[in-house]
Copies of this chain bind each other. A is one copy, B any other.
Amino acid sequence: MQGFLTSPPDSNQRFPFARLCVLQSIWQFSTELPPPLLQAATWSGYPQDVLKVAQDLEMASINVIRGLAMDAVQKANSGHPGMPMGCAPMAYALWMHHLKFNPKNPRWFNRDRFVLSAGHGSMLLYALLHLTGFELSLDEIKNFRQLGSRTPGHPENTHTPGVEMATGPLGQGFASAVGMAIAEKHLAARYNRPNHSIIDHFTTLICSDGDLMEGVAREAASLAGHLKLGKLIALYDDNQITIDGSTDLAFSDDTEALFSALGWHVQKIDGMNVEAVDRALVEARLNQDRPSLIVARTVIGYGSPNKAGSSKSHGAALGPDEVRLSKAALGLPENEEFYLPEDVLAHFRSCIQRGQKQESEWSAAWDRYAEDFPDLAEELGRMIRGDLPAGWADALPTFGEALATRVASNRTVQVLASALPELIGGNADLAESVGTEIKGGGHFQAATPEGRNLCFGVREHAMAAALNGMNLHGGLRAFGGTFLVFSDYCRPSIRLAALMQCPSIFVFSHDSIGLGEDGPTHQPIEHLMSLRAIPNLAVLRPADGNETAACWAMALDRRDGPTALILTRQAVPSLTPENVFDHPARRGAYVLDSDPDPIVALIGTGSELQLCVEAAATLRAQGLPCRVVSMPSWLHFEAQDDEYQQEVLPLDLLCVSVEAGTTFGWSRYAQTSVGIDEFGASAPAPQLYEEFGITAANVVEAVHELISDFAQDDE
């Protein structure tokens, strides 16, 4: 794209760029050229009367967006009208003149990614999706925020075609967009070839002051600047209003200077002026050496005579009277709801033809690519489809020796990285400790985007959000690691991954007091249970090397939700079978060994399975038949049929759980739990296990107490 336009337009020269773009979509004359090129044509000029027609249609289109947003929010009597009303011009400019997308195939791989980080402005996105021809009917718009609609209060990728990700929790969209831009840059570096720019798209987002105040966005902005993600563009809706009133209440950043300090290309514009937005987007797209921030000054609730520019238009319906007044002020028919004139719809729907053309051109380019590079095309095509290659798990390692599961994980990663070119990993400044490095994979850096190891820095939250963006982008399976205790820093993004059915893999090592001397600030206690409580998150805590390899396979097999792999710092003995791909761990819990007619089951996870094995030996020596159950995954176990669950843990079997974390929650499976319900301490790990009573002797004692309690009950 850059090849055609050798230099950016003189920014001092006003050119009727937006006007021309309107003409483009009216006349359909220029879909052969990507939008930025059109500006060249402006130098020849157009007659005033033609421009007037274009200008009127543009303004009508923008006001139709505003009208839909006002009406939908008013009908639901719930929602956020102000943001769509203020952002309609910039969103119009972006979608009509710059974004590359095909409404008839929202999953076209080479589309530009668009993220509405300010998710409360969902009606802006829904209006655009409906107007440009995505599978989102006007009835859905009329059902805004109603049960079963495709127009929930905040955008959800699982509900609405064309929505790239769920947004609403502020900062998440910004940070995941950074991940999408990483994915694009990485895939382009690895799969594009001279004259074959098969991966080539922008990632654009609209964010609010609220997004920019969030730490996760600040981390991500710093990361994006470091990585020089030149095809990432953030439009900042600078409306100077927050829920509580003026941003002056809490926000004094010099945002332009701030982003410049982070290495971004920064522009400040009038966001209500389509031409200014167009010009800024062209410049942002031409500046590919750095990510771009466009600070767009807007008026929240624009058009509302009594609520524009005020927090009153932010988070509630305007009210029927104010809606009428606003429509009058905007030149919309006052008493018509969901007003949508045909010329405006036709104008927006031109995106279909444009998009189909763009996609078909890309498909043709893909065919040429496949001809010249059949192996690459086959590999990339498979990755885009999200299929794993045949035999991908054949080489999974097995383990016979005692070793830390973080070490087993790292060895497994090496094997998987060979089999799966889509595997890309990263770490929050603990690469060696957590063991996430793909050896020989190189670092993903600004100058080496083909690298398969991301250095996220001490930015756990941005890492988790970026992993979501990379996995949502597609073509990659992205994982990232830190210590389990710092999963707290990632939690909003982990939850969102679960909600989005996004298969991010979070690798959390140093999973208990077993990390020893670093002490209670670093020792997870409640984390395993807190993660298990998140719906649709697989929490896998393997007991040894073989289970670790099996858990990696389980994580990669998951396509509809994230996985947290929970790993030890310390070595654990090898206890479980070596058939790692068909490992019984895949069913979540299984009988490791059992006497006939056991009286008690000892349920262990991770590093505590060995204590169950040890305790079982003692109990057997004492004449008590028992069973040892390894339970790496509650989620997988609970997905089994009742029969299997009963087979492993019959209802009439006494159960004791053993896990070096809170006992909270274990009452679901066990009458007694050996665990830790207080904060840890700083000391060598073996001493801590003694101190907190996580020992085989205590397991034996717990069993005797339990049996004696039940014996009493039976009396």
Contact = CB atoms under 8 A, between A and B. Distances in A.
A253 interface: yes
A250 B219 contact: no
Interface stretch (A131-139, A355-363, A394-402, A663-671): A663-671
A29 B341 CA distance: 87
Contact of A518 (B153, B525, B662): B153
Q: Which of A433, A665, A682 has the most CB of B within 10 A?
A: A682
Interface stretch (A55-63, A207-215, A416-424): A207-215
Q: Which of A261, A458, A536 has the most CB of B within 10 A?
A: A458
Contacts of A244: 427, 429-432, 455
Given A213-B459, A488-B492, A681 B222 contact: no
Interface in A442-459: 443, 445, 455-459
B429 A518 contact: no
Given A251-B222, A492-B488, A665 B533 contact: yes
Contact of A679 (B214, B431, B499): B499
Contacts of A522: 153-154, 168-169
A455 B518 contact: no
A694 interface: no
Nearest to A220: B215
A335 interface: no
Contacts of A488: 491-492, 495
Interface string A657-688: 00000101101100000000111011110011
A154 B516 CA distance: 12
A529 B521 contact: no
Nearest to A515: B153
Q: Which of A222, A225, A430, A530 has the most CB of B within 10 A?
A: A530
* Complex copy number for this chain: 2
A17 to B, nearest CB: 31
A275 B520 CA distance: 37
A249 interface: yes
A88 B58 CA distance: 64
A223 B516 CA distance: 35
Contact of A687 (B147, B156, B443, B678): B147
A664 B533 contact: yes
B458 A145 contact: no
B525 A535 contact: yes
Given A258-B262, A499-B520, A499-B521, A152 B681 contact: yes
A213 B665 contact: no
A16 interface: no
A254 interface: yes
A146 interface: yes
Nearest to A149: B682
Nearest to A212: B458
Given A153-B519, A209-B458, 8 more contacts: A154-B519, A156-B521, A211-B458, A215-B461, A222-B253, A243-B433, A260-B261, A529-B664
Sorted from nearest, which 10 A-B pairs have the closest CB atoms? Answer: A215-B215, A250-B457, A152-B682, A168-B521, A147-B683, A257-B261, A526-B533, A153-B519, A210-B458, A218-B218
7 contacts: A78-B684, A119-B521, A149-B682, A153-B521, A214-B458, A218-B218, A488-B495
